[in-house]
Structure 1
């Protein structure tokens, strides 16, 4: 007997891009003009800040009531 497959939920590209936007921010190590920094990105990928250390990035993110997530 053949079983009918259930419809899988789908997300639009916009929904995927904004997933977590209100809850998380990403920290990513970068080098700007030879200086190692940490970039802070919103969940949709927009860079929202540069800080000197991961600790400063984590603090800034938490001050904005978001959860910091590392991107390596």
Structure 2
């Protein structure tokens, strides 16, 4: 996984990491070193045919599933994590 920043946003990429060439590129390991393991994002999913919202850590690790987006956001906030947009 490759992690970059653009306009103050953390972007997650599934393609293999390329050598760091600019000030806006950061590796997953560097991100963890900055304390960003408390970053989470939400992705719409289907569970047993029902719409749901999966909560993932910044490195893509699944953390939980909520029935609606508000519950997912509340869970992230309650666990002192920072919600970042997924693009």
Same-fold call, TM cutoff 0.5: yes
Partner SS for 1:21: helix
**Number of corresponding residues:** 63
Structure 2 residue corresponding to 1:52, chosen from 67, 76, 83 = 67
Larger Rg: 1
Q: Could you say what the CA RMSD is over the residues aligned between the two structures, in angstroms?
A: 2.3
Q: Which runs of 5+ in 1 are unaligned?
A: 1-7
| TM-score (norm. length: structure 2) | 0.59
Deviation for aligned residue 1:12: 4.8
Question: 2: distance between equivalents of 1:55 and 1:42?
Answer: 17
Question: 1: distance between equivalents of 2:67 and 2:84?
Answer: 17
Q: Stretches of 4+ moved more than 4 A in 1?
A: 8-13
Structure 2 residue corresponding to 1:21, chosen from 34, 37, 40 = 37
Q: Which runs of 5+ in 2 are unaligned?
A: 1-21
| TM-score (norm. length: structure 1) | 0.70
Bigger proportion of residues as strand? 2
